[in-house]
A and B are shown apart, each in its own frame.
Chain A
Amino acid sequence: MKTTLAISALACAIAAPALAGKPEVVANYVAIAHASYDDSLTTARELQSAIDALIADPSAQNLTAARAAWKAARVPYMQTEALRFGNAIVDDWEGKVNAWPLDEGLIDYVDPSYGGASDENEYAALNVVSQKSFTLSGNQLDAAKITPELLSDTLHEADAIEANVATGYHAIEFLLWGQDLHGTDHGAGERPWTDYAQGEDCTGGNCDRRAAYLKAAADLLVSDLEWMTAQWAEGGEAATALTADPDAAISAMLTGMGSLSYGELAGERMKLGVMLNDPEEEHDCFSDNTHDSHYYDGIGIRNVYLGEYTRVDGSVVTGESLSSLVAAADPQIDASLRAGLNDSVAKLARLKTVAEAGTSYDQLLARGNQDGEALILAAVDSLVSQTRDIERAVNVLGLQDIGFEGSDSLDNPDAVFQ
C-alpha cells in the first residue's frame, strides 16, 4: 500500500514536472501585490487616526505618535515599489503618494536659507498654509478652505513642475517633521508640536490651516491607497490584466525589479546623493528615515523574485515563484540572482544598522566622509550587479519580444508631419 502510494506520487511528479507554471507564478505575484497594498492601506489608516488625534488634541506625545505611525506606514508601502515600473497602472498613480524630491516651501514656512522662487519653479516658496488666496499659472485661486481636492487637483504638480509635491507621504512627512536644518550633521526636522496648537500657543502661524492641510493630505493618502488596493483585488484592473497575459506579467515583474534596482534606487536615490553630498537628496529627508525606505525597497524586490511577502500582522503570503521558473530554465542564473538579492538586502541592512545606532543617512553623505561613501556605494554596486542577473533572467525566459510596441511615428508615418 505504502509502496503503491509512493510510486503513484512519483508517477505524478514525472507526469507533471516540478516546473511552476507561469499562471501560478503570476497568481502569487498578484496575491503579494494585493496584500502589500492592503497593508499599506491599513497602516495609512492608522496614520490618519494618529493625525486626527494630533489635530484634536495637539501635544508633544501626539506628534510623536503620528511620526511613529508615519514610519510604520512606510514599511509595507516601500515594499510595493518593486511593483511600480512594470505596471503602468501603478507608475501612473504613484506620483500622488510618493512624489519626491519636493520644493516644500510650496506647502508651508521654510527657513530663509531655503531661498525663494527659483528659475525652475516660481512657486517653490508659495506657502499655501499662510495664504488664503494666490495666483497660480495666471489664475487667481481661492484657498480659503484646504480640501483634498485643492491638494490633488490644483496644487499637486502645479505649473507642471514635478517638484511641486502637494500630496502623499513626503508632504505629510514635511508637515510632521519640518525641514531638517542639520545639513549633513546628526538630527532630523524639529517641527514643534505647537505648530498645531490652536489659539495663542500656535507657532509658525496659521495653525488651523496647517492642521487642515495635514488632515486633507492624510485623507487623500488613504483614498488613493484604497483605490490601488482595489485594482489588485480579484476582478480589479491590475489583477485581471496580468492574469490574462502571463507572459506580459512575468515581463512586468522583472521590469519592476530591474528598474527599481538600477535606475531608481541605485542611481537616482543613492549614488546621486553621494555624488552631490546633498542631504536633501535623501529619500526621506525630513524624518531621516531614508535607511528604512531603501532597505524595504530591497526587500520588496526580493519578495517579487522569491514569491514571498511577510505581512504586517506576521502572516506570510507565499506560492509559486519567479525563482522556480528561472531555475527550471537555468539553475546557475537563478542561484546567482538569489545570491545577488540576498547580498543587496544585506548591504542595505548595513545602512539601516548604522542609522539605528545613531549615524543617520545624511551624515554618510557629507563631503569627505569616505566610510559613509563606501557603505552606500557598496549597496549601489550590489544593486547594479543584481540588475545584470535580472537581465539574464529576462533573456533566459525568452521574454525578448515582450514590450515591443509600435509607436505613433511608425504606425502612422503621417503623424510626424501633422
Chain B
Amino acid sequence: MRAALLSVFVLALLPRPALTDVTGAVNDHVLPAARHFAETADALADAATADCRAMSLRPAYQDAFDGWMGLSHLGFGPLEQDGRALTIEFWPDPRGLVARTVRGLVADADPVVDGPQAFAEVSIAGRGLMALERVIHGDNADYGLDDYECRYARAIAVDLAAIAADIRTDWAEHAQLMLTAGTADNSRYLSAKEPEQALYTALLSAIEFDADQRIGRPMGTFDKPRPKSAEAWRSDRPLRNIRLSLAALRDLAIHMSDTPIPVTETAFETAQQTAMALDDARLAGVADPQSRLKIEILQQQIRAIGDAVRGEIGGGLGLTAGFNSRDGD
C-alpha cells in the first residue's frame, strides 16, 4: 500500500526517469575514498614507526579510522577479497574475541609481531583498528618504547597500511570492471545493471548497519542497555562513526544518481541534523531514558533514509537490493 503511494509520489516529483551514474560514483566517490583511506593508514604507519607509544599514535589513529568510515560501506569487491573489511575492523564482536586475542598475544609476548608476513597470519581479532584500540586506549596504554605493546602497535599499523595500499590498487582495477560492465570479456559484471545493483546494495546495507548495529547494539533493550557494546567507545568514536558514515552514504547516494534525489536528501538531512545535535560521543546516553529517546529517534530517522532510498533510487531505477555479506544471523 505504502510502496505504491511512494512510487506515485516519486514519479510525480521527477521530471524524467532517474539514471544511475556508475561512472560518477566510481570516479568521484569510490576512488577518492580508497585513496584517502590509504593515505591516512600510511600516516598511521609512519607515526608508529617514528614512535609507537600510545600518546603518539592516537591522533593518527583517529584520522585513519575517519578515513575508514569513508570507505567501509563499499563492502564488495576489493574489501570483500581476503576478508579485508573484517580485518580492518573486526566489529561487532559479541564474544569479546578482540580482547581475548590481544590479551593472549601480549601475555605470550608472541614474536609473530616482528615480521609483517607472519603478522598477516594472525587472527583478524588481533589485527586492525579494534585490536589497535585495545592497545593504545586499553588498560595498559601507558606502555613504554621497549615494551611488547609498542612493537605490537607498530605491527598493526604497518599491516593496516599494507592492506589499505592493496585496496587502493585493487580498486583501480575493480573500477574498470564496473565501468566495462556487460562487455564480452567481463565475467564479473554481466550487464550494466549489475554494478548499479552492487552500489545500491552497498548503500542500503550500510544504512541498515548504522541503524541496527552502530545504534542498535548499544541500545540493547530498555531494561538492559549496553553502552559498552558501542563501536570503538574506548576511543570516543561511536557518534563520530555514525556522523561520518551518514556523510559518506549521502555522498554515494548523490553520486550514483543522475537526477535529483530530494526525498533521500531530506531524509539524510534530518538524520544528520539529529546526529550533529547529539552531545554524547560514546552514546552512553542509551542508559538514560531521556537521552535514550533522542538516540532512538536518530535510529528511526536512519531507517527512514533506507525507505527513501528504496523508493526514490531503487524504485526509480528498477533496482532491487542483492544479497549482502551481512545477511544471515
Residues of chain A touching chain B, judged by Cβ–Cβ distance below 8 Å, are: 85, 101, 103, 118-120, 137, 159-160, 162-163, 258-264, 267-268, 271-272, 274-278, 367-368, 384, 387, 390-392, 394-395, 399-401, 404-411, 415-417
Nearest-Cβ distance from residue A377 to partner chain B, whole angstroms:
9
User: Complex Cα distance A409/B318, Å?
Assistant: 22
> Using Cβ atoms and an 8 Å threshold, which residues of chain A touch B193?
395
15 example contacts (A-B, Cβ-Cβ < 8 A) are as follows A119-B99, A119-B228, A137-B224, A263-B324, A263-B328, A276-B124, A367-B123, A368-B121, A391-B197, A394-B322, A406-B3, A409-B300, A409-B303, A410-B307, A416-B304
Q: Does the CB pair B328–A267 fall under 8 Å?
A: yes
Task: Annotate B205-233 by CB proximity to A: 1 below 8 A, 0 otherwise.
Answer: 00000000000000011001000110000
Q: A389's closest neighbor in chain B, by CB?
A: B190
Of B307, B308, B326, which is within 8 A of A263 by CB?
B326
Is B310 part of the binding interface, using a Cβ–Cβ cutoff of 8 Å?
yes
* B1 at interface, CB cutoff 8 A: yes
Given contacts A85-B327, A259-B323, A415-B300, contact A400 B318 (CB under 8 A): yes
Residues on the B chain within 8 Å of A162, using CB: 94
Check if B303 sits within 8 Å of A367, measured CB to CB.
no
**Chain B residues with CB under 8 A of A276:** 97, 123-125
Closest to A387 in B: B323
The 8 lowest CB-CB distance pairs between A and B, nearest first, are A263-B327, A264-B328, A406-B2, A263-B328, A259-B327, A409-B304, A400-B320, A258-B323
Additional A-B contact list (17), CB under 8 Å, known A120-B94, A263-B324, A404-B320: A119-B96, A119-B99, A120-B96, A258-B323, A262-B323, A262-B324, A263-B327, A264-B327, A267-B326, A275-B87, A275-B124, A394-B322, A404-B3, A406-B1, A406-B2, A410-B308, A416-B304
* Alpha-carbon distance A47/B219, docked complex (angstroms): 40
User: What distance in Å separates the Cβ of A274 from its nearest Cβ neighbour in chain B?
Assistant: 8
Residues of A contacting B284 in the complex (Cβ-Cβ under 8 angstroms): none
Is A410 within 8 A of B327, CB to CB? Answer: no
Which chain B positions have C-beta within 8 A of A416?
297, 300-301, 304
Instruction: Establish whether residues B322 and A391, one from each chain, have CB atoms under 8 Å apart when the complex forms.
Output: yes
The answer to whether B318 and A258 have CB atoms under 8 Å apart is no
A-B contacts, CB under 8 A, total: 122
Task: Kindly list chain B residues whose C-beta atoms are within 8 Å of the C-beta of A259.
Answer: 323, 327-328
Q: Which residues of A contact B311 (CB under 8 A)?
A: 410
Quote the shortest CB–CB distance from A140 to chain B (angstroms).
17
Near A by CB (< 8 A), chain B positions 1-58 give 1-3, 6
Return chain A residues, CB-CB under 8 Å to B87: 275
Contact between chains at B2 and A120 (CB < 8 Å): no
Of chain A, the residue at the smallest CB distance from B190 is: A392
> Is B83 among interface residues, defined by CB-CB distance under 8 A?
yes
Cβ–Cβ contact B124 & A85, under 8 A: no
In contact, B122 and A367 (Cβ under 8 angstroms): yes
Decide yes or no: A417 and B323 within 8 Å by CB, A160-B221, A276-B123 being known contacts: no
Contact between chains at A367 and B121 (CB < 8 Å):
yes
Find chain B residues with CB under 8 A from A120 CB.
94-96, 229
How distant is B298 from chain A, measured CB to nearest CB, in Å? Answer: 10
In chain B between 95 and 109, which residues have their CB closer than 8 angstroms to a CB of chain A? Answer: 95-97, 99
Assess whether B329 is interfacial by the CB under 8 Å rule: yes
- State which of A159, A163, A264, A399 has its C-beta within 8 Å of the C-beta of B224: A159
Residues of A within 8 A of B125 (CB): 276, 278
B296 to chain A, nearest CB (A): 9
B328 touches A85 (CB 8 A): yes
CA distance A64 to B198 in the complex (A): 49
Q: Are B307 and A409 in contact (CB under 8 A)?
A: yes
Give Cα A260–Cα B323 distance, bound, in whole angstroms.
10
Q: Is residue B290 contacting chain A, with contact meaning CB distance below 8 A?
A: no
Q: Are A258 and B327 in contact (CB under 8 A)?
A: yes
Query: Which of A263, A271, A387 is close to B83, meaning CB atoms less than 8 Å apart?
Result: A271
Tell whether, in the assembled complex, residue A390 and residue B304 are in contact, meaning their CB atoms are under 8 Å apart: no
Assembly CA distance A404 to B306 (angstroms):
12
Contact check, A275 vs B123: say whether CB atoms are below 8 A apart: yes
- A99 shortest CB reach to chain B, Å: 9
CA distance A329 to B306 in the complex (A): 31
Q: Which residues of A contact B314 (CB under 8 A)?
A: 404
CB distance from A85 to the nearest CB of B (A): 7
Which residues on the B side are within 8 Å of A137 (C-beta)?
Answer: 224
Q: Which residues of chain B come closer than 8 Å to A85, judged between CB atoms?
A: 327-328
Would B307 and A407 count as touching, CB distance under 8 A? yes
- Chain A residues near B172 (CB, 8 Å)? none
Q: What residues on A are CB-neighbors of B221 within 8 Å?
A: 160
CB distance from A399 to the nearest CB of B (A): 7
In the complex, what residues of B have CB within 8 A of residue A159's CB? 224
Residues of B within 8 A of A103 (CB): 95
Closest Cβ of chain A: how far from B233's Cβ, in Å? 12
In the bound assembly, the distance between CA atoms of A85 and B310 in angstroms comes to 21
The answer to whether the Cβ of B162 comes within 8 Å of any Cβ in the partner chain is: no
Chain A residue at minimum C-beta to C-beta distance from B296: A416
Rounded to whole angstroms, the CA-CA distance of A260 and B125 in the bound complex is 24
Please indicate the chain A residues that have their CB under 8 angstroms from the CB of B2 in the complex.
Answer: 406, 410-411
Given A163-B94, A276-B123, A368-B121, A390 and B307 touching (CB < 8 A)?
no
Q: Please tell me if the beta carbons of A275 and B307 are within 8 angstroms of each other in the complex.
A: no
Given A275-B83, A404-B3, residue A101 in contact with residue B95 (CB < 8 A): yes
- Distance in angstroms from A144 CB to nearest chain B CB is 27
Please name all residues of chain B whose beta carbon is closer than 8 Å to the beta carbon of A262 when the two chains form the complex: 323-325, 327-328
Question: Which residues of A sit under 8 angstroms from B315, Cβ to Cβ?
Answer: 404
List B contacts of A404 (CB < 8 A): 3, 310, 314-315, 320
Counting CB contacts under 8 A, is B177 at the interface?
A: no
Whether B86 sits at the interface, judged by CB under 8 Å, is yes
Cβ of B244 within 8 Å of any chain A Cβ, yes or no, is: no
Interchain CB contact under 8 A, B304 and A410: yes
Complex CA gap A261/B328 in Å reads 9
In the assembly, what is the distance between CA of A274 and CA of B82, in Å?
A: 10
| CA of A101 to CA of B95, assembled, Å | 9
Docked complex Cα distance between A101 and B329 (Å):
11
Q: Are A395 and B327 in contact (CB under 8 A)?
A: no
A226 smallest CB distance to B (angstroms): 24
Is the CB of B287 closer than 8 A to any CB of chain A? no
Query: Which parts of B270-329 form the interface with A (CB within 8 Å)?
Result: 297, 300-301, 303-304, 306-308, 310-311, 314-315, 318-320, 322-329
B206 nearest CB across to chain A (Å): 15
Report the minimum CB–CB distance from A251 to chain B (whole Å).
10
